[in-house]
C-alpha cells in the first residue's frame, strides 16, 4: 500500500475522462493544472484522443509515454473499478475519484463504491473520494481542482482536510483572500472510500510544511483511531475542526452529501475535547482562529486586559470572556503607576482601561502607545484587546504597531468600528503587520479562548497560571 505522502508528492498526473470541450469539468481541470504551474508531467485520457488547453489527450492510460503517479478519475461510476485496474497496470500510486454517483446516491452507488474499495485494497493504490475535488500541494504546484487560484497556490503553513470538495474550494478562495492565510496542503476526502480523516490528519501531522491543521468533517469513520491520531497531532500542531451534521436533520443531509454515518454529536464532542482538538462553531470562527494562531504567540495564561474608547464594547467583550473562562487581569503596581502617568481620571485606569478622555486631551497615539507598552510589559496580563475607532488614515496606528512588534510576548487583538471603508483600511494595514483584526471584539475573545486552551494542552506547566474563580 502506498502512503498518502507518496501520493501527495506525485510528480506526474493523468486526468481520466478528460474532455475536449473547453467548458466541461474534464477540461477545466486540465486548464487548472496548467495554470498552477505544476512542474510534473500532465496528460489526459479520452477515447477519441486530441488536445485541450495544450494538454495531449491519449486514447488510454497505457498509451501515455511516461509513468503516471497520480490519476484523477472523472468517468461514470460503473466504469471506475475497471479504470482502477488499468491504473494498477500503469503503476499509479494514487487516484482522486472526482466522479459522483456512489454511496451518497443509494444502493447501486454503494455497490460501485464497494467494488472501488476492494480494488484499492488489493492493488495498494490510495484513493481520495469518490465525490471529491481532490488534493493540493503548494510545495509542488499540484492541484487537481479547477477551483484553485494563484492565492491558494502560494505556499504557506495551513494544512486543510475537507470532506466537501466544492465547499473547500470556495472556502479556500475566501481564506486566501487574507494575505496571512496561506496553504500547505489540501486533502479532499469526499465519501472516504480509502483515505479517511485519520489518514489525512496523520499525514498533515507529519508534514513539515504544515504548522496548523484545519478540518471540515461530516462524519468520523473510525472514532477510536481518530482520537489516537488527533492526540498525537495536537502535541505537534493546533488542530481546528469544523463539523457538519451536529443535528439529526443535518446528519441526515450528510448521508446524501458524502454518504456519512450519523454519530452522536455529544459523544464525539466529549472524545475530541479530551484530545485537545479545537472545535469551531462556524466558518467565521475557523478563519478567525487561523488568523490568531498565524500571527500571535500562545498566551501564557487566561488573564486579559481591555483597552477601549467605548465602555459598551468592552462590556460585551467581558461578557464573552467571562462566559468562556477568561478573567480580567489585575494590573501590577508598576503598570498602575504608568497608567496614572497618562490617564487623568482614576476610574478610567481600571480594566477595561478607558482611553477616551485622555485621548481627547493628549492625542490618541501618545495615550494608546503608552498604555499598550505598559500592558505588554505586565506579566500578569496574558492577552490584550484593543477596541477603538476605525479611522480613514492608518497613521494613528503606526506607533502602536511598533510598540507591539517590539514586544512580541502575548496576543494583541484589534477591533476597530466605524465607516466600513475605514474599517477595511485599518484591517488591511494591521494584517500587513501581522496583527489580528476582528471587527467585533467578541470574536477576538473567542480566538483567545481557543489559543489559551491549546497552550494548556501542549504545555502542562502552563496550567499553573490558570486561576480558578
- Closer CB to a second copy, 101 or 155, in the complex: 101
Applying the rule CB under 8 A, the residues between 208 and 227 that interact with a second copy are 216, 218
Q: C-beta of 85: minimal distance to a second copy in Å?
A: 26
- Figure out which of the listed residues 177, 274, 405, 459 binds a second copy, where binding follows CB under 8 A: 177
* Residue 433 engages a second copy in binding (rule: CB under 8 A): no
Interface positions, 273-292, toward a second copy (CB under 8 A): 282-284
Q: Which is nearer to a second copy, 258 or 289 (CB)?
A: 258
Instruction: State how far the Cα of 339 lies from the Cα of 352, in Å rounded to an integer.
Output: 12
CB of 247 to a second copy, least distance (A): 4
Cis peptide before 213 (omega within 30 of 0): no
Q: How many residues bind a second copy (CB under 8 A)?
A: 73
Maximum Cα–Cα distance for the chain, whole Å?
A: 82
- Does 429 help bind a second copy (rule: CB under 8 A)? no
Closest approach of Cβ 376 to a second copy, in Å?
Answer: 22
**Cβ distance to a second copy smaller for residue 79 or 316:** 316
Cβ of 7: how many Cβ atoms within 10 Å?
25
Restricting to residues 137-176, which ones interact with a second copy according to CB under 8 A? 149, 151, 162-164, 166-168, 170-171, 173-174
197 binds a second copy (CB under 8 A): no
Under the criterion CB under 8 A, does residue 179 sit at the interface with a second copy? Answer: no
**Nearest-approach distance from CB 162 to a second copy, in angstroms:** 8
- Closer by beta carbon to a second copy, 124 or else 325: 325
Contact positions with a second copy (CB under 8 A) in 68-97: none
In the bound state with a second copy, the residue whose beta carbon lies nearer, of 56 and 78, is 78
Considering the complex, state which of residue 214 and residue 321 has its C-beta at the smaller distance from a second copy.
321
Within 11-40, the residues that bind a second copy by CB under 8 A are: 24-25
Closer residue to a second copy (CB): 85 or 360: 360
Residue 419 C-beta: closest distance to a second copy, Å: 5
Q: Which of 126, 257, 303, 449 binds a second copy (CB under 8 A)?
A: 257
Cell representation of residue 141: 504546484
Interface with a second copy, residue 466, by CB under 8 A = no
x/- letters, 236..255, toward a second copy (CB under 8 A): ------x-xxxxxxx--xx-
Residues 316-375 that bind a second copy (CB under 8 A): 316, 318-319, 321-323, 327-328, 345, 347, 350, 352, 356-357, 360
The 105-124 contact track toward a second copy, x by CB under 8 A, reads xx------------------
Q: Taking the CA atoms of 246, 298, 445 and 177 in sequence, report the sign of the dihedral they define.
A: negative
Phi and psi, residue 424, nearest 5°: -65, -40
- Binding track over 292-311 against a second copy, x by CB under 8 A: -----------------xxx
Q: For a second copy, which is the closer residue by CB, 93 or 382?
A: 382
Tell me whether residue 64 or residue 74 sits nearer to a second copy (CB atom): 74
Q: Is residue 5 within 8 Å of 33, Cβ to Cβ?
A: no
Binders in 434-463 for a second copy, by CB under 8 A: 439-440, 442
- Supply the minimum distance, in Å, between the C-beta of residue 190 and a second copy: 10
- Is 467 near a second copy (CB under 8 A)? no
Amino acid at each position: 500500500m502506498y502512503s498518502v505522502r507518496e501520493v501527495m508528492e506525485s510528480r506526474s498526473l493523468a486526468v481520466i475522462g478528460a474532455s475536449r470541450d473547453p467548458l466541461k469539468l474534464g477540461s477545466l481541470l486540465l486548464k487548472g493544472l496548467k495554470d498552477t504551474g505544476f512542474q510534473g508531467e500532465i496528460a489526459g485520457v479520452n477515447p477519441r484522443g486530441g488536445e485541450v488547453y495544450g494538454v495531449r489527450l491519449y486514447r488510454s492510460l497505457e498509451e501515455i509515454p511516461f509513468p503516471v503517479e497520480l490519476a484523477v478519475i472523472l468517468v461514470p461510476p460503473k466504469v471506475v473499478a475497471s479504470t482502477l485496474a488499468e491504473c494498477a497496470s500503469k503503476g499509479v500510486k494514487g487516484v482522486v475519484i472526482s466522479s459522483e454517483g456512489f454511496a451518497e446516491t443509494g444502493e447501486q452507488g454503494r455497490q460501485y463504491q464497494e467494488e472501488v474499495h476492494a480494488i484499492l485494497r488489493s492493488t495498494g493504490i490510495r484513493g481520495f473520494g469518490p465525490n471529491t475535488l481532490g488534493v493540493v500541494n503548494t510545495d509542488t504546484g499540484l492541484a487537481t481542482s479547477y477551483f484553485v487560484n494563484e492565492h491558494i497556490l502560494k505556499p504557506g503553513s495551513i494544512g486543510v482536510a475537507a470532506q466537501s470538495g466544492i465547499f473547500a474550494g470556495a472556502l479556500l478562495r475566501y481564506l486566501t483572500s487574507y494575505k496571512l492565510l496561506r496553504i500547505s496542503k489540501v486533502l479532499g476526502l469526499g465519501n472516504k472510500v480509502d483515505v479517511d480523516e485519520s489518514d489525512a490528519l496523520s499525514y498533515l501531522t507529519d508534514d513539515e510544511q504544515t504548522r496548523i491543521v484545519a478540518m471540515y468533517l461530516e462524519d468520523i469513520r473510525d472514532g477510536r483511531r481518530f482520537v489516537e491520531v488527533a492526540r498525537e497531532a495536537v502535541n505537534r500542531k493546533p488542530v481546528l475542526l469544523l463539523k457538519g451534521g451536529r443535528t439529526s436533520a443535518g446528519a441526515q443531509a450528510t448521508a446524501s452529501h458524502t454518504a456519512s454515518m450519523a454519530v452522536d454529536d455529544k459523544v464525539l464532542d466529549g472524545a475530541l475535547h479530551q484530545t485537545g482538538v479545537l472545535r469551531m462553531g462556524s466558518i467565521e470562527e475557523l478563519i478567525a482562529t487561523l488568523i490568531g494562531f498565524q500571527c500571535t504567540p500562545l498566551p501564557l495564561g487566561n488573564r486579559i486586559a481591555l483597552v477601549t474608547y467605548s465602555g459598551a464594547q468592552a462590556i460585551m467583550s467581558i461578557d464573552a470572556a467571562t462566559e468562556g473562562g477568561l478573567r480580567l487581569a489585575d494590573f501590577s503596581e508598576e503598570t498602575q503607576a504608568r497608567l496614572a502617568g497618562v490617564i487623568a481620571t482614576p476610574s478610567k485606569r481600571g480594566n477595561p482601561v478607558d482611553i477616551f478622555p485622555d485621548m481627547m486631551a493628549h492625542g490618541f497615539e501618545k495615550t494608546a502607545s503608552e498604555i499598550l507598552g505598559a500592558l505588554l510589559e505586565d506579566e500578569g496580563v496574558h492577552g490584550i484587546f484593543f477596541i477603538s475607532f476605525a479611522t480613514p488614515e492608518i497613521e494613528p496606528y503606526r506607533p502602536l504597531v511598533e510598540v507591539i512588534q517590539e514586544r512580541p510576548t502575548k496576543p494583541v487583538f484589534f477591533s476597530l468600528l466605524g465607516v466600513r471603508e475605514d474599517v477595511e483600511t485599518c484591517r488591511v494595514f494591521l494584517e500587513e503587520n501581522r496583527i489580528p483584526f476582528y471587527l467585533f471584539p467578541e470574536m477576538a475573545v473567542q480566538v483567545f479562548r481557543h489559543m489559551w486552551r491549546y497552550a494548556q494542552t501542549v504545555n502542562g506547566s502552563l496550567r499553573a497560571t490558570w486561576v480558578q474563580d
